[in-house]
Amino acid sequence: MESILEKSEKYIFELFKNKLPKKYLYHNYLHTQRVVNSAKEIMDNSEVEEKNQEIVLLSAWFHDTGYIKGEKDHELKSAEIAESFCIENGVDKEKIILVKNCILATKLDTKPNSFLEEILKDADTSHLAKNYFKEVSQLLRQEVLLAQGREYSAKEWREENIKLFTQEHQYYTRYAIEHWEPEKNKNLLGILKKKKKRRKKREKEDLKAKLKAKYKHESPERGIQTLYRVTLRNHIKLSDIADTKANILLSVNAIIISLALANLIPKLDAPSNRHLMIPSLILVLFSVAAIILSIMSTQPKVTGGEFTKEQVRNRKVNLLFFGNFFKMSYERYQEAIDEVINDKSYVYKMLTKDLYLLGLVLKKKYTLLKITYIVFTAGIILSVVAFILAFAEIDVAGKVVEPIITK
């Protein structure tokens, strides 16, 4: 025959499985099992009569069953469910009263009035001293969000836990005080350490933000560096665009010349094709001119590649431009850089000169590129016009010759 405790365990399992809402991530069957085991742990290490052990374990199994009807006054609802079960299973009236009192004592702000109530109250909060405290704490946090709609930030939840540990909770049984209180304090220290770590991190981030804001607003260096960086990048990008356009023109005109040399010019020695000579020459000459201009626009200008110590000393050389140092040894170049690296004004002077020279190069490139486009366009137009006139002249000549032959 099953004992009342065995019946209770099966009843609670089915009750939670079928009626407990899914939003209760903490107050569920697993929590109930842990409370039962913690109650057994206390009683195994205390002098408790067998009949009283049954009372404590019955109340442990039923202490959170009220959650099937909602979290409000769940202790009272749990006591009522336990009473109904006990009556159905023939439990003594006096024992039922003790079970209900134990369940009602689990309310957070209620002080236990008997040793049995102390056992259950300590067992119900045993998770505060267990190594799975962090896990169940996060489950309880999510349960509060789902069931009550209250969302706690990590900081707010830490503060709630610290308040619970230091102000609202205490253990009552001797076993819990001797064995669980030290472990509870370890978990509290873990929370406090995390709080301290977060505070230091936040202070560090705040200080970093303040210094960044101060540096940004009070020091012109950042703005100057941004100015040079953006402007130099834009100049280099414009130079790349010019080179790309020149290469396109170079390729197109090379193809035109190749086609002309392969297919058109060899046929010009025939008397019937002499009218195509001038249009072909115009096409080829303008294409050659466009190629030459494209090459000129992309042709690099390299200087001597050397500088003297006197030039460095007098700040007369731009050490950032490769054309001034490509023939120098690395040691001499490093020596020159070391000499001027701490002179901000000279560094900015070199950057300015580099920027200016890039501008001059761009001016030359885009001027030649513009001329190249004009030459290419003019060559295409003149060639097309010349071809049209040449074919028109042939048609007219053919019409004049035909009547003469007829006569």
pLDDT in tens, 374-406: 998 998 899 889 888 877 876 665 555 455 444
Do 21 and 114 fall into the same domain? yes
Q: For residue 161, is it within any domain? A: yes
Query: Within 13 Å of residue 52, how many CA atoms lie on the same side as its CB?
Result: 14
Nearest to 155 by CA among 146, 163, 147: 163
pTM beyond cutoff 0.75: no
Do 269 and 357 fall into the same domain? yes
Residue 139 neighbours by CB under 8 Å, 6+ apart = 25, 26
Q: Which pLDDT does position 42 carry in this prediction?
A: 96
Do 270 and 325 fall into the same domain? yes
Q: For residue 213, is it within any domain? A: no
CATH of the domain at 110: 1.10.1300.10
Cα→Cα distances 317→46, 304, 348, 369, Å = 91, 12, 13, 30
Cα→Cα distances 300→180, 317, 347, 361, 362, Å = 81, 20, 25, 9, 12
Do 285 and 388 fall into the same domain? yes
Q: For residue 357, is it within any domain? A: yes
Range of the domain at 241: 221-406
Q: Which pLDDT does position 268 carry in this prediction?
A: 66
Say how many C-beta atoms besides its own lie within 10 A of residue 139's C-beta: 18
Judge contact between 158 and 194, C-beta under 8 A.
Answer: yes
Do 131 and 252 fall into the same domain? no
Q: Which pLDDT does position 395 carry in this prediction?
A: 61
pLDDT digits (tens, 9 = 90+) for 10-22: 999 999 999 999 9
Q: For residue 212, is it within any domain? A: no
Do 260 and 391 fall into the same domain? yes
Do 12 and 103 fall into the same domain? yes
pLDDT tens, per residue, the chain with 407 residues? 678 999 999 999 999 999 999 999 999 999 999 999 999 999 999 999 999 999 999 999 999 999 999 989 999 999 999 999 999 999 999 999 999 999 999 998 899 999 999 999 999 999 999 999 999 999 999 999 999 999 999 999 999 999 999 999 999 999 999 999 999 999 999 999 988 888 888 888 887 777 676 655 555 577 777 888 888 888 889 888 888 888 898 888 888 888 877 777 666 666 666 677 788 788 888 888 988 988 888 877 766 667 677 777 776 776 766 666 777 788 877 877 777 777 777 777 888 887 888 888 888 888 988 999 999 899 889 988 988 887 787 666 555 545 544 44
Do 16 and 105 fall into the same domain? yes
d(C-alpha 10, C-alpha 344), whole Å: 82
d(C-alpha 157, C-alpha 161), whole Å: 6
Do 39 and 144 fall into the same domain? yes
Q: Which of 205, 231, 256 is the last residue of a domain?
A: 205
Do 157 and 305 fall into the same domain? no
Q: Which of 173, 205, 237 is the last residue of a domain?
A: 205
Q: For residue 214, is it within any domain? A: no
Do 229 and 322 fall into the same domain? yes
Q: For residue 302, is it within any domain? A: yes
pLDDT digits (tens, 9 = 90+) for 247-289: 898 888 888 888 877 777 666 666 666 677 788 788 888 888 9
Q: For residue 211, is it within any domain? A: no
> Domain tally for the chain?
2
The CA-CA-CA angle for residues 196, 197, 202, to 5°, reads 95
Do 35 and 168 fall into the same domain? yes
Q: For residue 216, is it within any domain? A: no
Say how many C-beta atoms besides its own lie within 10 A of residue 134's C-beta: 13
Q: Which of 170, 205, 240 is the last residue of a domain?
A: 205
